[in-house]
Amino acid sequence: MKTTFSLAAALAVIAPAGLCSQTGNGAPSGPHFNLNIIGVAHDKSPNMGGSGNVIFVGLGTKTDAVTTKILLSQSADGVFQVLDKNGTDGEASFALPVPGTYTVWARALGTPGGQSKIATCATFTDPTTGVATLLCSTDNEVFVRGTGKSSFRNVTTALTTITLAPGSPAELACGTPTVSLFAACLQDFLWQYDNNGLKLLQIRFYPNS
């Protein structure tokens, strides 16, 4: 697996017949970038750095969640890239292109019984008071690892937009109730990942046909 995946290269691929159809696991077929968020019981080395397609996070338990902030940055060259794979210290980082040219799909894997929640968040600085607040979308995704086959589902909206509280200062400042990833009215975008024992969340990014 290459450390980065060029969206432009994927879009340049000539699609064979049936490329946009779904596979047996519920995901589209065709080229994609695969990101694995792996829950581990013990902290990893603080000097792991980036590269690859894996982010390690705290495992947590069924009753006590471990929260990891996956800091998001806009890639200048249209690639997906893990910049900091060690989230066991509370933070990891991931670069991705601006939304609109790809869809996002995810599924829970690993030992049955675990679950996790992921939401897109960002910092809003009130133009009147100057107070900075971390806001998380009211639209999030919960993944439960049951028994049997696990299928992908489309999570594009939850992982590339933030739904703001109606009538909030952030909604008034942004001028819309739904804000896209990397919108100028917010800063410091991230995914907040709350893990209750899920061993693996697999996320795939597919270029739009």
Question: pLDDT by residue (tens digit) across 177-199?
Answer: 999 999 999 999 999 999 999 99
Residue 21 lies in a domain: no
Predicted TM-score (pTM) of this structure: 0.87
Residue 147 lies in a domain: yes
Residue 53 lies in a domain: yes
Q: What is the pLDDT of residues 93-119, one digit of tens each?
A: 999 999 999 999 999 998 899 999 999
Structural domain harbouring 79 = 4-9+31-118+143-161+194-207
Q: Is pLDDT of 11 > 80?
A: no
Q: How far is CA 110 from the centre of its chain?
A: 18
Residue 15 lies in a domain: no
Residue 153 lies in a domain: yes
pLDDT at residue 19, rounded to an integer:
39
**Cα separation, 46 vs 87, whole angstroms:** 9
Residue 129 lies in a domain: no
Q: Do 171 and 117 form a contact (C-beta atoms < 8 A)?
A: no
Residue 189 lies in a domain: no
Q: Tokens at residue 207, please?
A: 């270029």
Residue 51 lies in a domain: yes
Please state which of the ranges 16-25, 59-68, 104-113, 142-151 shows the lowest mean pLDDT. Answer: 16-25
Counting the structural domains of the chain, the total is: 1
